[in-house]
Structure 1
Amino acid sequence: MRRRKKSSQRKRVGRVSYYLHHGAWYLYYLEYQDGVKVQRRRKVSDTEEEAAQIAAQINAQLASSSPTPFSFTSVSFLNLRQAFLNHHETVVKSSPATIRRYRSATQHLENYFNECCRSDLAHSIRADHFVAWLRKQKVSPNGHPNTAKRTLRDKGLRFVLEVCRSVYIYAAQQRFLPPYFENPFSKLNLERMRIEDAKPIFVFDAEDELSFFQKADDWTFPIHFILAKTGLRSGELIHLLIEDIDLENGWLHVRNKSELHWKVKTRRERSVPLIEEAVAVLRRVIGDRTSGPVFIRHQFDAFSSPLGNLDQLELQELLQQRIAHADSGSGLTLSQTMEEKLAIAVWREAGVIRSERMRNSFIRTGKLAGLKQSSCPKSWRHSFATLLQDANVDPLIRQITLGHKPSEDARSGGLGMTGVYTHTRATTQRREIERALRLWPQSLAYARQWASAKKV
């Protein structure tokens, strides 16, 4: 019995053929990947017309030796990680601090590949296995090798996984992953991961605040008083220059200093009103100085230091000179990381305080005041925001004063278009902030007493 010959459904557009198979249209073609000829056979459409269009597009890409939608370049995770970090440094221009966090987070995944994976290819990852491995790893909380190690807290673990997810999003965009390869970290549903072992946040009340200030020495008190009464981040206070403060009108301006390689965390510049007591404290701190950082290192003599009394423009010019000199000496353009190191040196020579020194002073003073739970200067920012809430300060004013980004959907703290059309006047902001800070009069009275005392 003779079999009936089936009619061919295969059609061709140049080097690409398409055909009907089980009710769907497929493509077939050959291309070179890493010097090896590879067959590509993919289901692309339910209609012949769309399949023909895709075939024509791929044929044009093959003719011009361009990568097709189904091609990819397999890379090791080591190379993918380095490409991701370079992308953020040279293209996205992320801050050096952000790049350091990304490098630290992705180091965990590189360690996993080295210890547990037979293949070093990035697409061989098993995200669930990595999470199980990561939960057993012990790390130094502050990165210091002599610190007692512990397992990652839930927030830290989720941050590592979020960064890894971003790495694989970047890999997909660069076609480093096989076609239809789903991001393994997207399946973990990180937004719903429970945070059960978060470190408790210490929030001051009026009595605790007064006890802390009374135990603080003359160098420590003004630093933490200004943090408490402005809600500044520690990094913002460290990089605050005298020219950023308007003592006559009672305003403090938080500004980006890109030329000196420092930016506000959210990149949002803002102005913060200063109450009378804060102005008095700042006048004593600044004294006869006219330029340089507002708060300087303990026992740092601004007048005898070459950089101790330079304004922002002068510091920028000095930094550019050092970068140019380093460029001419190496013969290569310095990386952002190297420029940041030079900028840190300039800040340091100008008298800036190290963040670790500020944190140590906070912990030491907290222990003297019997506040054993206080371990981070960020408590001042939490306490400031809480005090504004206790005083029923408008959410928009709180957001402006603290420098937070508005939510993406409302862009206005949940008020919709009302928030978009609302523009807070400076007088309103000052009135509301001062009304809230006056709720704790004891610490303000202590500040007036400290500011009027003679500097030893």
Structure 2
Amino acid sequence: MRRRKKSSQRKRVGRVSYYLHHGAWYLYYLEYQSGVKVQRRPKVAETEEEAAQIAAQVNAQLASSSPTLFSFRSVSFSKLRQAFLNHHETVVNSSPATIRRYRSATQHLENYFNECRPSDLAHSIRSDHFVAWLRKQKISPNGHPNTARRTLRDKGLRFILEVCRSVYIYAAQQRFLPPTFENPFSKLNLERMKIEDAKPIFVFDVEDELRFFQNADDWAFPIHFILAKAGLRSGELIHLLIEDVDLENGWLRVRNKTELHWKVKTRRERSVPLVKEAVAVLRRVIGNRTSGPVFIRHQFDAFSSPLGNLDQMALQELLQQRISDTDSGSVLTLSQTMDEKLARSVWREAGVVRSERVRTSFIRTAKAAGLKQSSCPKSWRHSFATLLQDANVDPLIRQITLGHKPSEDARGGSLGMTGVYTHTRATTQKREIERALRLWPQSLAFARQWASANKV
């Protein structure tokens, strides 16, 4: 048998050879990966001079037993997904809620690998096939098994694809992909994906708001009234402690509670002014309590519960003690997820309301008020922001009050350097917010009546 004649174009730099093939220059070398000898033949350059330089660089890396320019470690998508989630938990320190969203989003891609791909290697993905598969999947909108299943809406589908793109960006950084492998989700141009079936956003008007409050029971009314008049997120409201509220001066403080494993969505703490009607409502809600969550579960007795009247510092000390007791005798530290589970139990025993309970009370009250098209408490935040715009409240004050991140310029937001040099006084913020809320006096009058009622 005749041996194939070596190409006269092949040249060598130490342990690396480079050669011309179909008009481009390639390298050839052997390296060890996890104790296994692996052949590498990457395409590296269009000219011989560039190929020689890269060959010398790779040879030096081989000589020092360092990873080469073209080395990578193939992993299954399941392992890549777990590494990505662990990275966000232990390095990025993302919030537990964010990690849960990422876990749910990437579960779709793992299901696709298990059902449709002959190989489970992460770089065997076909993004176009995955999108076509994803559009046919039916999910429970709120995660409950008894909910009627439907296909993903466009916004949900785009979020899943954006998270998957982030997974592959992380994979490239960790060298889990071939060096010439392009991020398959970057090619989808997600920013230009059309949103055609988004759930309509419901914004209250003055009559709808009053009708909603008139149909709310005594437990639900103060919750939704404060959401409507302070523009809070539901999670911010249920984690509001009595010590966060200054009723004398009419302010509430939205604060991160890191030691209790709760953080503001954008991490931006803020102060929100309260009109006197909101102060009156909160006085009745808080009653004789001095500590604990402002809003507590229906029929929860704060005075008979061991945790029902503890301040933030006491709750933190109790949580740390539970973590220490659970972790004692183990050489491993508790994961953030386990810490979060223990923190949830502390919040629960302190009487905190579940966000799901806020949502169901909103749906029930909206239905009783004949507002069937509204099904999400976020409508209060949309309505609050819209009312501020109707009142021509300065955009910077709106941004500060709602706790939004600047989106265009990291130094000053959409206002550029003007936002850097502008420092909104508390008196200005309070005056402007109150001026806007006074445009709808009917609901404020109803709140005064509710707050003055002689009810327990």
TM-score interval, normalised by the smaller of the two chains: over 0.9
Select between 69-78 and 407-416 the one with higher mean Cα deviation.
Answer: 407-416
Give the CA deviation at 1:107: 1.0
Query: Does residue 70 of structure 2 align to residue 70 of structure 1?
Result: yes
Q: For 1:159-196, what per-residue CA distance to the aligned partner results, in whole angstroms no more than 9, with x for missing partners?
A: 11111111111111111111210111111111111111
Task: Give, as a single letter, the amino acid of the residue that structure 2 aligns with 1:420.
Answer: V
Rate the CA distance shift 1:22–1:185 in 2: closer, same or farther, 3 A. Answer: closer
- Structure 2: which amino acid aligns with 1:179? P
1:414 equivalent to 2:414? Answer yes
Equivalent residue, structure 2, for 1:205: 205
Following TM superposition, by how much is the alpha carbon of 1:411 offset from its aligned partner in structure 2, in angstroms?
Answer: 4.6
Shift of 1:28: 3.0
Match of 2:229 in 1: 229
Q: 1:283-328: CA deviations, max 9, x gaps?
A: 1111111110000011111111100110000000000000000001
Which whole-Å CA distance do the structure 2 matches of 1:350 and 1:169 have between them? 41
The 10-residue stretch of structure 1 (353-362 or 6-15) with the greater mean CA deviation from structure 2: 6-15
Cα deviation for residue 40 of structure 1 reads 2.6
Partner of 2:133: 133
Alpha-carbon offset, residue 94 of structure 1? 1.2
Provide the C-alpha distance between the structure 1 equivalents of 2:38 and 2:179, rounded to a whole number of angstroms. 14
Contact 2:25 2:43 in 1 (8 A): yes
Distance (whole Å) between structure 2 residues aligned to residue 115 and residue 42 of structure 1: 31
Q: Secondary structure at the match of 1:32?
A: strand
Q: 1:442 to 1:69 in 2, by over 3 A?
A: same
Structure-2 residue corresponding to 1:260: 260
Matched residues in 2 for 1:376 and 1:181: separation? 42
Pair 1:236–1:180, CA change in 2 (3 A): same
Cα shift at 1:111: 1.0
For the structure 1 residues 129 and 339, does the alpha-carbon distance in structure 2 shift closer, same or farther, using more than 3 Å as the test? same
Structure 1 residues 160-199: aligned runs within 5 Å: 160-199=160-199
Closer, same or farther in 2 for the Cα pair 1:200/1:411, shift >3 Å? farther
Secondary structure of 1:17's counterpart equals strand
Partner-residue secondary structure (3-state), 1:419: helix
Q: Distance in 1 between matches of 2:151 and 2:238?
A: 31
Decide whether aligned partners of structure 1 residues 26 and 124 sit closer, same or farther in structure 2, where only a CA change above 3 A counts.
closer
Aligned counterparts of 1:47 and 1:417: Cα–Cα separation in 2: 47
Q: CA deviation at 1:110?
A: 1.1
Residues 31 and 236 of structure 1, relative CA distance in 2, 3 Å threshold: same
What TM-score comes out, normalization by structure 1 length?
Answer: 0.95
Q: Which amino acid in 1 is paired with 2:290?
A: T
Q: Structure 1 65/410 Cα, relative in aligned 2: closer, same or farther at 3 Å?
A: closer
**What corresponds to 1:368 in structure 2?**
368
Aligned partners of 2:265, 2:213: CA distance in 1, in Å?
A: 27
**Offset at 1:279?**
0.8
Residue 272 of structure 2: SS of its match in structure 1?
Answer: strand
Question: Which residue does the alignment assign to 1:3?
Answer: none
Q: Map 1:41-440 to 2 at 5 A.
A: 41-46=41-46, 50-328=50-328, 330-409=330-409, 411-440=411-440
The answer to whether the 8 Å contact 1:307/1:350 transfers is: yes
SS at match of 2:382: helix
Q: For 1:87, give the aligned amino acid.
A: H
CA–CA distance in structure 2, aligned partners of residues 22 and 102 of structure 1:
43
**Gaps spanning 5+ residues in structure 1: where?**
1-5
Contact 1:396 1:412 in 2 (8 A): no
Cα deviations across residues 100-157 of structure 1 (Å, max 9, x unaligned)?
Answer: 1111111111111111111111111111111111111111111111111111111111
CA shift, 1:341, in A, is: 0.5
Give me the whole-angstrom Cα distance separating, in 2, the residues matched to 1:218 and 1:447.
Answer: 11
Change (3 A) 1:7 1:213: closer
Q: Deviations over 1:21-69 (max 9, x none)?
A: 6776543322223444333333434555544443332122212222211
User: Does the Cα contact within 8 Å between 2:366 and 2:374 map onto a contact in 1?
Assistant: yes
Q: Which amino acid aligns with 2:137?
A: Q
- Kindly indicate whether the alpha-carbon contact (under 8 Å) linking 2:15 and 2:59 is maintained by their aligned counterparts in 1: yes
Structure 1 CA distance for aligned equivalents of residues 111 and 172 of structure 2: 22
Deviation sequence 1:217-267 (CA, Å, 0-9, x none): 111111111000000000000000000011111111000000000000000
Partner deviation per Cα, 1:366-414 (whole Å, 9 max, x = no partner): 1111111111111000000000000011111100000000014365442
1:135 is matched by which residue type in structure 2? R
Deviation at 1:10, TM superposition (A): 5.2
Q: Indicate the percent of aligned positions where both proteins have the same amino acid.
A: 89
Counterpart AA for 1:418: T
Amino acid in the other structure paired with 1:360: T
Q: Which stretch of structure 1 is more off in the superposition, 95-104 or 12-21?
A: 12-21
Q: Per-residue deviation at 1:335?
A: 0.8
**Between 279-288 and 26-35, the greater mean CA deviation after superposition:** 26-35
Counterpart CA distance in 1 for 2:432 and 2:163 is 39
Q: Is the Cα contact below 8 Å between 2:269 and 2:403 reproduced in 1?
A: yes
Number of residue equivalences: 452
| Contact 1:395 1:413 survives alignment (8 Å) | no
Partners of 2:205 and 2:22 in 1: how far apart? 71
* Counterpart residue identity of residue 180, structure 2: Y
Amino acid at match of 2:123: H
| 1:414 alignment partner, SS class | helix
Distance 1:78 1:163 in 2: 15
CA RMSD of aligned residues (A): 1.9
TM-score (structure 2 length as normaliser):
0.95
Q: Report the Cα distance in structure 2 between the residues aligned to 1:26 and 1:149, rounded to whole angstroms.
A: 52
Q: Are the counterparts in 1 of residues 408 and 414 from structure 2 also a CA contact under 8 Å?
A: no
Q: Take 2:395 and 2:111, find their aligned partners in 1: how far apart are those partners?
A: 44
Retained in 1: the 8 A contact 2:220–2:361? yes
Amino acid at match of 2:247: L
SS, match of residue 42 in structure 2: strand
Whole-angstrom distance in 2 between the partners of 1:177 and 1:410 = 32
| Cα separation, 1, equivalents of 2:95 and 2:413 | 26
Q: Which one-letter code corresponds to 1:273 in the other structure?
A: P
Amino acid at match of 1:106: T
Question: Which stretches in structure 2 are left out of the alignment for 5+ residues?
Answer: 1-5
